Amino acid sequence: MHDTRTAVVTGAGRGIGREVALRLSRDGHRVVLTARTARELTAVAAECPGPTLAIPADVTAKDAAEEVFAKAEEWGGPVGILVANAGGATSAPVARITDEEWAQALDLNLTAPFRFVRRAIPGMVEAQWGRIVVVASMAAKRGDPYVAAYTAAKHGVLGLVRSTAAELAGKGVTANAVCPGYVDTPMTERSIELIAARTIRSEDEARHLLASRQPIGRLVSPAEVAETVAFCVANAALTGQGINVDGGAVQS
200 pLDDT above the threshold of 90? no
| 182 catalytic per annotation | no
Percent of the chain with pLDDT strictly greater than 90: 78
Identify any residues that bridge with 147 across adjacent strands, giving them in sequence order.
92
Give domain limits for the chain. 6-181+221-245
Across 89-98, 148-157, 202-211, least confident range: 202-211
Q: Can you give the pLDDT at residue 1?
A: 44
pLDDT band at 216 (very low <50, low <70, confident <90, very high): confident
Structural fold of domain 6-181+221-245: Rossmann fold (3.40.50)
146 pLDDT above the threshold of 50? yes
| N-to-C CA span, the chain | 31
Q: Which of 69, 116, 129, 150 does the annotation list as catalytic?
A: 150
Is the Cβ–Cβ distance between 227 and 23 less than 8 Å? yes
Q: Can you give the pLDDT at residue 47?
A: 98
188 pLDDT above the threshold of 80? no
Per DSSP, the three-state class of 247 is coil
Is the Cβ–Cβ distance between 160 and 109 less than 8 Å? no
Q: Can you give the pLDDT at residue 2?
A: 63
